[in-house]
Structure 1
Amino acid sequence: MTVDPFTALAVTLRDNAVNKTKEVLSGVAVELGTITASGLKLDRFKHEIGDYYVAEFPGTLKLPELKLAGTVTGLKDSGGGGVQGKGNYSFEASETKESSLKLEYKPGDRVLVIPLNGGHDAIVICKVVSRGG
């Protein structure tokens, strides 16, 4: 049975995020907030935080062997003519050290936040979405 590499990647990233979050959050209260055009607004703090921190997840990216099918365009043959069509692509398992998952947010995104210094500073841990999507 072939394992879907994208599912495997998503599970690995999720597990890494959960483990790192557990380390960081032991004994710390967290709350929800919303990214705004100019900063971060915590649900239980009346002032917007203009300059906030964003969690980054450093580590090693491990990808399983991967086989994909797709369309080929833009290649040239030996005579300079265009080549196109369908093809199969195989990638060997790989490991990339010193990788980092850096999350980016846009205004309106709901986020999980660790408030610091009485709510004057904050670390955004992740985006929060409803179970339905």
Structure 2
Amino acid sequence: MTIDPYTALAASLRENAAKKASEALTGVSAELGSITGSGLKLDSFKHEIKDYLVAEFPGTLKLPKLEMTGSVTGLKDGGGGAVSGKGSFAYDSSETEKASLTLKYQPGDRVLALPINGGNDAIVICKVVSGNG
């Protein structure tokens, strides 16, 4: 049976990449912390991290077809008179490419973070809230 050298090379590269990724992530665990007025304080790290990173989520924003009701104010009719009242608003489904969700945090927010560089830096992944209310 002849072994295909390209298949062997691909298998070796795949194994090597998996091993390196595993080594790089060994010991990396997410932690809870709090946003302060001047930085990030992780629960298990005694020093505040002044210059932390924030995760950004690039992608395509997809919105479904949607109908809502609400109040209308500030519109003018053909004669320049004010128009107000209740109305129904219909939106077609849409997609917006190159959209990006960047989360903003306030002091006191509890967050999930990944400490890096021995805890000297951290990446804030998301805000965490109670599941009970």
The answer on 1:108 being equivalent to 2:121 is no
Match of 1:92 in 2: 92
Partner of 1:11: none
Q: Which residue of 2 aligns with 1:61?
A: 61
Distance 1:70 1:64, change over 3 A: same
Q: Which ranges of structure 2 fall in alignment gaps of 5 or more residues? A: 1-24
| Greater gyration radius | 2
Q: Distance in 2 between matches of 1:43 and 1:107?
A: 15
Give the aligned length.
109
CA contact (8 A) 2:60 2:99 kept: yes
One-letter code aligned to 1:103:
L
2-structure distance, mates of 1:43, 1:104:
20
The CA deviation at 1:28 is 2.9
TM-score after normalising by structure 1: 0.78
CA RMSD of aligned residues (A): 1.5
- Percent of paired sites with the same residue: 69
CA–CA distance in 1 between the matches of 2:112 and 2:29? 11
Structure 2-normalised TM-score?
Answer: 0.78
Q: After TM superposition, where is structure 1 displaced by more than 4 Å over at least 4 residues in a row?
A: none
